[in-house]
Structure 1
Amino acid sequence: MELGLKDKVVICMSSATGIGKGIATEVAREGAKVVICTAEPFKADLEKAQIDIERATGNRPQTFIYDVKDAVSIKRMIDDVASQLGNIYGLVNLCPGPKAGTFENLTEEDWADGYEKCLHSYVNSIRGALPYMKAGGGGRILNSTSSSIKSALDNLILSNTFRMGVVGMSKTMAREFGQYGVLINVMGPGRIYTDRIKYLNNIRGEKQGISEEEYTKRDSTSFPQKRYQTVEEYGRIVAFLISPANSGVSGQAFLCDGAMTDSY
């Protein structure tokens, strides 16, 4: 299927590593003008991602630096992208995962940090990109979240709370933005072996008195497909949802989890 992404400007937020990098790779494979970005401390990862993506796809993404918790920084970065590359068609929102923990062991600062990363940063990037999409006659937004949008995860109350906020916001925006040709959806991964999952599996393993490696081995074989999902699988679905080939799917929340989650 031809997705129609060639030469479309697509911004992939928080995309120096992991799922974001995987999404950017698949979008680049479709010929889009891909933007990858991250915070200043991870600039080396961003530069490596640029090389890796170009090597894998023959399409060199452009790199930008921004602060996920700074509205001015996000707006400036999006304006710079539009100035240098042209009108923005696609926006993929991701964020660093919030701190793990239960209600009683998280602080006010932890809650504020989770909100700024996992919900408010999405508001700010959409606010920055929407005028360009409207001016261009339409666009696509994909808000990447977590499997917690379908089933609450133990020890992850911040994710359970703010990811659901993204779902409610996205459904409302889909109804508001449809008149402008802007489609918006939510995606959540199941288990994909990124640094984030390694961090969480280490916590889970410690609670069971086993190593992260042993926990991961047991966990990955407990799901219907007997394995974790891959960033490539996730990225391919996202690439479709943010492309012109998707002309009618909007306001929906999906998982790419290999049937891991019990809920519908």
Structure 2
Amino acid sequence: MDLKLTDQRFIVCGASSGFGQAIAKQLLIEGAHVAVVARRGDKLRDTFGHFEDQTEIIEGSLIYSETLDKIETAAKSGAFHGIVFNAGGPPTGTPLQTDMKDWDAAWQLVMRWKIDLSLRLAPLLVEKEYGRMLFVESKSVKQPLPALTLSNAFRAGVVGFAKTLSTEVAPKGVTVNIMAPGAHDTPAIERVIKNNSSSKGISSEKAREQMEQNIPVRRMGTAEEFASLAAWLLSPHSGYVTGQTISHDGGAIAGLFG
């Protein structure tokens, strides 16, 4: 299928590894231009060097206004068709293992910058009467995960914001969707495996095996599989899909609307 992304222009946050990197690569393969954002500019240059003519490097942490300013400037500098909100998650821990410093930091890391950037960029898409906004969160927004208290709370808040935003901008041709990944073989899964290994007193290999056995397809997903769905949601083909939280979890969520 031709996704009709040739010469469209996107911003992908957290593009130095994992889902962000895979999504950016898929968009580039489809012929899009991508502004890739991450703290490590050297990693971005190494990863996307062979797409030099199609990429713009934005270096900086997403929790800082200076980085959001750079992203806003890039969005205003020419054609702009959509953005992928993606970043790492907060530390693991049960509710009683957290303190208010943890909550303040997680608010900055998981939720605040996404709201700030949405308020900056959504009006640009509304003005052009076309756009795609995609939030990469977690299956925890549908089924909270043990010992991921901070992620459970703030990612659910992001979904509430995104769903509400979707109804406001839909009449102007702008879609807002959320992807809810389960276990994928990316760097981010290692902290979950480490936590499971420590809490259960088992090896990392055994913890990984147990996770995979709890997934109906009996394996973890790949970032490339995830990116293929993301690219479709960012394409013109997805114009009738908005306000949705779409799982990509190998069937792991038990509910009817998983």
Same fold (TM over 0.5): yes
SS of the counterpart of 2:84? strand
2:58 aligned to which of 55, 64, 74:
64
CA contact (8 A) 2:44 2:57 kept: yes
Q: Which residue of 1 aligns with 2:32?
A: 32
Q: CA deviation at 1:79?
A: 1.0
CA distance in 1, matches of 2:168, 2:230: 21
CA contact (8 A) 1:118 1:162 kept: yes
- What are the residue-to-residue correspondences of 1:19-168 with 2, within 5 Å? 19-39=19-39, 42-51=40-49, 54=51, 60-83=54-77, 86-168=78-160
CA distance in 2, matches of 1:26, 1:142: 15
CA distance in 1, matches of 2:75, 2:57: 9
CA distance in 2, matches of 1:59, 1:192: 30
Unpaired runs of at least 5, structure 2: none
Structure 1 consecutive aligned stretches of length 4 or more whose deviation exceeds 3 Å: none
CA distance in 2, matches of 1:135, 1:121: 22
Q: CA deviation at 1:73?
A: 2.6
CA distance in 2, matches of 1:59, 1:239: 20
Percent sequence identity is 28
CA distance in 2, matches of 1:98, 1:226: 27
1:177 aligned to which of 166, 169, 173:
169
Unpaired runs of at least 5, structure 1: none
1:209 aligned to which of 201, 205, 224:
201
Letter in 1 for 2:149: I
CA distance in 2, matches of 1:159, 1:221: 23
Q: CA deviation at 1:81?
A: 4.5
Q: Which residue of 2 aligns with 1:251?
A: 243
Q: CA deviation at 1:50?
A: 1.2
CA contact (8 A) 1:50 1:62 kept: no
Q: Superposition RMSD on alpha carbons, in Å? A: 1.7
Q: Which residue of 1 aligns with 2:213?
A: 221
CA distance in 2, matches of 1:59, 1:261: 41
Normalised to the residue count of structure 1, the TM-score between the two structures is 0.91
CA distance in 2, matches of 1:160, 1:82: 33
Q: CA deviation at 1:135?
A: 3.0
CA offsets, 1:153-179, max 9 Å, x none? Answer: 000111111111111111110110112
Letter in 2 for 1:215: A
Q: CA deviation at 1:189?
A: 0.7
CA distance in 1, matches of 2:60, 2:171: 30
CA distance in 2, matches of 1:148, 1:252: 15
